[in-house]
Structure 1
Amino acid sequence: MVDKKKKRPIDEFPWQEYDKEEFKEKYPHLAKELEEEPGLVIEGYRVEEEEEEELMDFSGYNPTVIDFIRRCETDEEALEIINWMEEHGEITPELAKELRIKLVKEGVRSFGTKKEWGWYERHRKR
């Protein structure tokens, strides 16, 4: 009588151990990637930022380009803001270039969490 080990659902989880050759046979592309020199090094990552609870006095406050970008939903909207502000002399061409590079490389959320309608009212000193 052959004693077959009954597979349990946990046996199918990806963290199970593999023989190196079995792994190469089952996942050849992944095995190749793991054996190669790292091509992309991740130096850091962003986590969801918590909004500051500190209340501010906004009397006389003039929003910056970053404030306007944080209102955008998409990278395209942010690019429109950058272009408009540069064309109207609100920001320098050098700053516009830096902002475009950051936008292309990291996306609109890299400028901060989205400022929804009423943000200033919720964060002002009363």
Structure 2
Amino acid sequence: MSARLAGCASVEVDREEFKKRFPHLAREMEERAMAISISAVRWDVEAGERLASSGSERDPWRGYMPDVIAFICRCDTEEQALEIIDYMERKGEITPEYAEKLRRQLKEKGLRSFGPK
């Protein structure tokens, strides 16, 4: 078993030793009881945090401001997504660097890597 974190060295841990030291965590990992599926990637941390914290229990749409990812998720084709990225970049809504990251993700991982429609 190997654990790797960004900016950290890899640590090798024997599976049996891990089970002895962390029995509850090992069981959860084996049973995948707390598994969460990730259906989208946001490169802009601030936009993701804004979106995650903007919800209200009574009105989930209160204060909702769709970002470039929200618009891309509504697209049917990669060509439409590229049009959205180009438009947002041209209008100054996203930086050229962020636009390039989005184009790369679209090319390498596909339209649905941004999330379901």
| TM-score with structure 1 setting the length | 0.46
Q: Which has the larger radius of gyration?
A: 1
Say which structure, 1 or 2, has more relative contact order (CA 8 Å, 6+ apart): 1
Higher helix content, 1 or 2: 2
